[in-house]
Amino acid sequence: MNPQNPVFIPGPTNMPEAVRLACHMPTLDHRSPAFADILHPCLDGVRKVIKSDDADIFIFPSTGTGGWETAISNTLSPGDKVLVARNGMFSHRWIDMCQRHGLDVQVIDVAWGHGIPLDAYEEALRADKTHAIKAVLATHNETATGVKSDIAGVRRAMDAASHPALLLVDGVSSIGSMDFRFDQWGVDVAVTGSQKGFMLPAGLAIVGFSAKAIRATQTAKLARTFFDVADMAKGYAADAFPYTPPVGLMNGLRVAIDMLLEEGLDNVFARHHRMAEGVRHAVDAWGLRLCAATPDLYSDSVSAIRTPEGFNATDIVTVAARDYDMAFGVGLGDVAGKVFRIGHLGMLTDAMVLSGLGVAEMAMVDLGLPVKLGAGVAAAQEYYRHSNKQQKAAA
Ligand SMILES: *Cc1c(COP(=O)(O)O)cnc(C)c1O
């Protein structure tokens, strides 16, 4: 792979130079006061990015998967019931983790390409008269299918059923790229990692806990040591970690957050929407369809694109990598071979997206798909010309 080319996998994402350089620092004594100047801006900044006034933020040396484990092991006890929809590979993996932790998982299976079924959530919660369900799990953005679910709607369903369960949300491929409203949506635990919207290498699990989730930690009996938020909170109170913190990554996170806040969260989300719309215009011009069933489900951070019956979508990814040094995402799980994915999150510009669309087109034509060279690029160009001017005029 030629490292000059941007990647179009839905994480890890392209690293801005300033973020990459910030990660690259000499050893710093993490017990010296200098660490506080990295730690606290990270905690305060993440809170701003998830739009919360007072969530407790915790950063672990881990990945998004460790964030899932942090969410469940700190708030639940063995045998606790959780309600969760499975609509893609990531929700599937979180379910698997819950099962392996000895939770009683009520799974609502949904066709891949669809979002969280709010009616089914509400029905299950209303039927749960004894409040056996201790947590409702929701994957905000299913990265395998490019489907965004309605977290405000999940909260409404919980409130409509007057259900006291915790709301645990996977925001790994949405936070920092798509609007996420921790306080307004009544989220109890939000989970993300460093290598998607935060534009860093993998290596951090980043979570936010509501006051209610913190209260739940006092009775939660699932085993936890490395991911214990109480130990982490004690560490933070002394400007430290309970173990050795990944100082360079956190310094990078501090800089990444500064970049997001300087651009302005609304502008960041608008930019992601624009990137995504350009891709969607191209998909349309190619005569292909997204895996996401309806426009309200379209993700602004990743598009999973269906290829014609009998064609192996993974071949596009293989040819793009082998012949053009460019990385796209393969289909996972139930949609393996049926979709390929274009990640369009993190540090991306219109121009970068056009390069990705151009390469995807070449790979498709090489493989004999009935796509005309330039068709998708031209559709995206038309869209970008106009949307860019509108956005600049509005700014
Ligand atoms: C990437 C991703 C994860 C897993 O994160 P890792 O950092 O690979 O552990 C979980 N959920 C979603 C929605 C993701 O996109």
Cα of 367 to ligand 1 centre, how many Å? Answer: 30
Are 148 and 169 a contacting pair, CB within 8 Å? no
Atom of ligand 1 nearest to the CA of 202: 7
Atom of ligand 1 nearest to the CA of 139: 13
- What is the residue with the minimal CA distance to atom 12 of ligand 1? 172
What average pLDDT is seen over the chain? 97
pLDDT digits (tens, 9 = 90+) for 303-357: 999 999 999 999 999 999 999 999 999 999 999 999 999 999 999 999 999 999 9
129 alpha carbon – ligand 1 mean position (Å): 33
Per-residue pLDDT at 338: 98
Nearest to 387 by CA among 226, 241, 274: 274
Residue 127 burial by Cβ neighbours in a 10 Å radius (0-12, 13-18, 19+): exposed
pLDDT surpasses 80 at 392: no
Q: How confident is the model at residue 1 (pLDDT cuts 50, 70, 90)?
A: confident
Looking at residue 321, its pLDDT comes to 98
**Helices assigned H by DSSP within 173-264:** 211-217, 229-237, 247-263
Q: Which of 2-6, 38-42, 72-76 has the lowest mean pLDDT?
A: 2-6
Q: Which residues of 41-79 are buried (b: 16+ CB within 10 A; e: fewer)?
A: bbbebbbebbbbeebbbbbbbbbbbbbbbbbbbbbbeee
How far is the centre of ligand 1, averaged over its atoms, from the C-alpha of 89 (Å)? 10
Ligand 1: centre distance to CA 95 (Å): 13
Integer distance in angstroms from the first to the last C-alpha of the chain?
A: 37
Q: Read off the tokens for 348.
A: 């991306």
Q: Say what the pLDDT of residue 243 is.
A: 97
Q: 66 C-alpha to center of ligand 1: Å? A: 9
pLDDT band at 118 (very low <50, low <70, confident <90, very high): very high
Question: Tokens standing for 194?
Answer: 């460093």
Q: Which of 143, 148, 174, 301 to mutate to test the pocket of ligand 1 (most atoms within 8 A of CB)?
A: 143
Q: Ligand 1 mean position to 2 CA, how many Å?
A: 25
pLDDT score at 393: 73
Q: Pocket around ligand 1: residues whose beta carbon is below 6 Å from it?
A: 11, 63-65, 90, 139, 141, 143, 170, 172-173, 193, 202
Average of pLDDT values for 355-363? 98
CA-to-CA distance for 319 and 366, rounded, in angstroms?
Answer: 8
- Where does residue 102 rank: exposed (0-12), middle (13-18), buried (19+ CB within 10 A)? middle
Contacts of 157 (CB under 8 A, 6+ apart): 118, 119, 121, 122, 125
Which tokens go with 128?
A: 């749960």
317: which residues sit within 8 A by CB, 6+ positions away? 327, 328, 329, 330, 340
- Ligand 1 mean position to 389 CA, how many Å? 34
Give pTM, 2 decimals.
0.97
The CB density around residue 249, as the number of other CB atoms within 10 Å, is 25
The pair phi, psi for residue 263, each rounded to 5°, is -65, -30
- Kindly state the average pLDDT of the residues 158-164: 98
pLDDT-based confidence at residue 54 (cuts at 50, 70, 90): very high
Within 8 A by CB and 6+ apart from 111, the residues are 87, 293
* Mean pLDDT on 154-165: 98
CA-CA distance, 379 to 154, in Å (whole number)? 35
100-104, 162-166, 390-394: the lowest-pLDDT one: 390-394
Cα–Cα nearest to 185, from 150, 226, 220: 150
Burial (CB count <10 Å: 0-12, 13-18, 19+), residue 363: buried
Pocket test for ligand 1, best of 63, 200, 207 (most atoms within 8 A of CB): 63
Mutate which of 173, 189, 206 for ligand 1 pocket (most atoms within 8 A of beta carbon): 173
Contact 46, 190 (CB under 8 A): no
Across the range 12-23, mean pLDDT stands at: 97
Quote the DSSP letter at residue 178: B
CA gap 155, 388 in Å, rounded: 34
